[in-house]
Amino acid sequence: MAGVPIERKAETPSHVAIIMDGNGRWALKKGLPRLAGHREGAKAVERIIRAAASTPGLDYLSLFAFSTENWRRPRAEVEGLLSLLKTYLRSKRDELVENRVRMVFSGRIDQLAEDLQDEIALFEKATARGDQLTVVVCLNYGGRQEIVDGVNRLLRKGFAGEVTEELISANLYRPGIPDPDLVIRTSGEVRISNFLLWGSAYAEFFFTDTLWPDFGEEDLKKALDHYSLRERRYGAG
Ligand code: FPP
């Protein structure tokens, strides 16, 4: 029996999500402290935001910046990472506004230090009108926690009926953001690590050995090309 030809679509994913892994190994290879890897990782974030903003059809970029599990790292690294984020937010706000990039945050934000929460609120407000690209910074984020928090939110609202997929989706951290179409993970690890568990149910995955600080526009392009050759069936057979 002749096989059904695979339909190849040249399309751009509307929402790309990235597990930015390998900062530590990048630094180790160069004999530098881990924090130097995170600093270089922040430069890669800038490059990829710029590339994503100029890619027609790419509307959302989610970045796994700090997981609920990352608190278990040495204190100096955790403090260094959070302070790097704060510095990044302070120094990039005007540039992002100018380039019409909206930035929103997703995760247990209310558990972060007050000054970081203030910075985040300012940032979201300042960039709210950006219509070129929406960047979702997943911060103190865990995929299981997002589902648990969503269900608890429903319970707090007094919901006592049958839970549906639509109800859970509507009570996640960022209900207005569509599910990711493509999830990229750098540094050779092939795991989801508690990232966007609910949202990535039908996502395509792209894994690359490139360490995050080395990830550039060409690597993003490769991932987008890989996506455009995939046929998504959504379980329809
Ligand atoms: C994983 O590398 C990376 C992180 C835990 C942090 C990602 C954060 C940044 C890129 C900093 C800037 C972010 C923004 C949004 C400005 P790893 O330390 O787990 O690397 P390893 O697996 O090689 O040890």
| CB of 45 closer than 6 angstroms to any ligand 1 atom | yes
The mean pLDDT of 221-229, rounded to a whole number, is: 94
What is the DSSP-derived secondary structure letter of residue 219? H
Q: What is the DSSP letter of 72?
A: G
Probe target for ligand 1 pocket from 25, 34, 38, with the most ligand atoms within 8 Å of CB: 38
Q: Is the CB of 136 under 6 A from ligand 1?
A: no
Give 46-88 pLDDT, tens digit per residue. Answer: 999 999 999 999 999 999 999 999 999 999 999 999 999 999 9
Q: Per-residue confidence at 5, pLDDT binned at 50, 70, 90?
A: very low
Q: Is the CB of 42 under 6 A from ligand 1?
A: yes
Cα–Cα distance for residue pair 79/50, rounded to 1 Å: 27
Taking the CA of residue 42 as reference, the ligand 1 atom at the shortest distance is 12
Q: Is 21 part of the annotated catalytic residue set? A: yes
Structural domains in the chain, CATH included, are 15-227 (3.40.1180.10)
Predicted TM-score (pTM) of the model is 0.93
Q: What is the DSSP letter of 230?
A: -
CA-based Rg of the chain, rounded to a whole angstrom?
18
User: Could you write out the DSSP letters of every residue in 132-201?
Assistant: SEEEEEEEEE-HHHHHHHHHHHHHHTT--S---HHHHHHTSS-TTSPPPSEEEE-TT----TTSSTTGGG
Residue whose C-alpha is closest to residue 49's, from 115, 121, 127? 127
pLDDT per residue as tens digits for the range 130-162: 999 999 999 999 999 999 999 999 999 999 999
